[in-house]
Amino acid sequence: MSEKKILIFYGTRYGATEGVAGKIAELARENGLQAEVYNLKDLPDDKIPDFNNYDGILIGSSIRIGQWTKGVKKFVGNNKDQLNSFKGKKGFYVCSAYAADPDSYDRVKVEYTKDACEKLGVEKLDLYDAFGGLMDFSETSRMGWLDKKLLKVAAKVASGEKAEDDSYSDLRDWEQIENFALEFFKIL
Ligand SMILES: Cc1cc2nc3c(=O)[nH]c(=O)nc-3n(C[C@H](O)[C@H](O)[C@H](O)COP(=O)(O)O)c2cc1C
């Protein structure tokens, strides 16, 4: 039997979603699948691969103020017909701070993935999940000062605790991510 092939498209702002895309690709290869990974920020419309040559498509997005990245929004909106008629399996994930909060997880898992896809006309995701994100206030962070400030305010409201300057926490649960990937490979 020939190797199954998957496409992974992602949009990231601070790196968490990108890291998850890389991890899923690595797991795919370890499990005998071919995986191609595309950052939607750098992917011109005429370079988007023909979905029909693949068995599965995964899309990942960063969340900022409840929204996907511009690249993910544009990609899903522009390709909704191709995604709806795709014969393989479709999965979606997000990286978001609220996903790491047990009280918000069930809500954001649906709201940021399935509901947001349906609003843009993409139906029937086969798998979706929400993973925690990066709370990176260090000097090497990809976050600008305004984003750091906004996230600190949100973190204080959510946890009641002030995030320290220079602190770094990775809220991604790698076991959850691996289970998601393996589940996706299984349904292909
Ligand atoms: C300005 C700002 C706004 C954010 N808004 C949300 C939000 O509305 N919901 C949420 O769950 N996480 C929110 N986050 C947390 C991000 O989703 C988290 O940092 C995640 O790592 C983003 O993915 P990325 O690292 O791939 O860009 C926000 C972060 C920042 C800096």
Q: Is residue 153 domain-shared with residue 128, that is, in the same domain? A: no
Tens-binned pLDDT, residue by residue, of the chain (188 aa): 569 999 999 999 999 999 999 999 999 999 999 999 999 998 999 999 999 999 999 999 999 999 999 999 999 999 999 999 999 999 999 999 999 989 999 999 999 999 999 999 999 999 999 999 998 999 899 999 999 988 888 777 666 677 788 889 899 999 999 999 999 999 99
Q: Which range of residues forms the domain containing residue 44?
A: 5-133+171-187
Q: Which residues of 33-44 are buried (b: 16+ CB within 10 A; e: fewer)?
A: bebebbbbeeee
Residue 40 near residue 11, CB atoms below 8 Å: yes
- Nearest ligand 1 atom to the CA of 130 is 11
Q: Is residue 177 domain-shared with residue 158, that is, in the same domain? A: no
Q: How far apart are CA 130 and CA 109, in angstroms?
A: 5
Q: How far apart are CA 80 and CA 50, in angstroms?
A: 14
Please tell me the residue having the least CA distance from ligand 1 atom 1.
147
Please tell me the residue having the least CA distance from ligand 1 atom 16.
96
pTM above 0.85, yes or no: yes
